Amino acid sequence: MSATAARVLLATCAEVPDGDDDEQAAIDALRADGIDAQPSVWDDPDVDWAATDLVVVRSTWDYTLRREEFLDWARSVPRLANPAAVLAWNTDKTYLRQLADAGLPVVPTSWFQPGDEVDDLAPDVVVKPTISAGAKDTRRHRAGSSARAHAEQLLNAGRAVMVQPYIDAVDTVGETGLVWLGDRFSHAFRKGALLAAGADATADLYALEEIGAREPSRAEMATGERVLDALAELAPAGRADLLYARVDLVPDPSGVPVLLELELTEPSLWFAADPSAVARWVAAVKGWLARS
């Protein structure tokens, strides 16, 4: 590798210091193109984040109980993708309320803050903290009573809560993840059902997912484009300011694609679902480096 090779650090967390398989594929592809790419733990005090050409947030999945510390770190990094202001907006899932208020199709959601009273909840709902990743502290409840108890447990711990109906199509059709790299659509994947009714939330860093290839429908692509176009008005940056974006959709009972999550912080990009995507990843990173 030449002495003038661009240096890129891919930020991860202490539990996966070398990143996961997705991150390894990203690193290998960058290195094959002559870029000095390395994984680095985001809260490691010995890393000089300023002495690199680009820092890419990838598998920083332990930030959820230390969000302010994570955001302080992000603001301290001179050349960060995605930008710190985007991370601040996207790491609290109340951004979904903004998108819904703007008329975008979002899974219906009820929101609760610590101190709120939780009335009786409907059966077969998903309860999760608004600041969460990897399905930690997230559970599907068949009974409204257990859903309420879960919500109250989180609220009593000082955590804001969101409650959504469980979308039955997840069990059959699955979720569709749409991935954009450098403001261009790259690939899609299918995610199988993750939450079994009544099962405990994962105790691991993240829940294991069943992933496969998927060809998105025209309706899914149109919804994804609408969501990203809305960022220019609702988020601290527009879609052109993002190195990556992932739009997770699921069909509602009438078959219309609705937004489950917009992942702009630390999404798995699932290169295994489309091996040609790594070339688009390298092109996106090189474009970002040239711009920086």
In order of start, what are the domains of the chain with their CATH numbers?
7-90 (3.40.50), 110-165 (3.30.1490), 168-274 (3.30.470.20)
pLDDT tens digits, one per residue of 204-233: 444 556 788 999 999 999 999 999 999 999
What integer is the mean pLDDT of 122-146? 88
Residue 172: the pLDDT is 87
In this prediction, residue 2 has a pLDDT band, given cuts at 50, 70 and 90, of very low
Share the mean pLDDT of the chain: 91
pLDDT on residue 208 = 52
- Predicted model pTM: 0.92
Chain segment 70-91, per-residue pLDDT in tens: 999 999 999 999 999 999 999 9
Mean pLDDT of 109-122: 93
pLDDT higher than threshold 90 for residue 148: yes
From residue 192, alpha-carbon distances to 123, 207, 213 in Å are: 22, 12, 11
Q: What is the mean pLDDT of residues 264-287?
A: 96
Rounded distance, CA 185 to CA 221, Å? Answer: 9
10 within 8 A of 56, measured Cβ to Cβ: yes
CB count in 10 Å sphere of residue 240: 11
pLDDT grade, residue 191 (50/70/90)? confident
User: What local confidence, expressed as pLDDT, does residue 193 receive?
Assistant: 64
**What's the whole-number mean pLDDT along residues 110-139?**
90
Determine the average pLDDT of the residues in 188-203. 63
Mean per-residue pLDDT, 144-164: 94
Can you tell me the distance from the alpha carbon of 292 to that of 285, in angstroms, rounded to the nearest whole number? 10
CA 210 – CA 174 distance, rounded (Å):
10
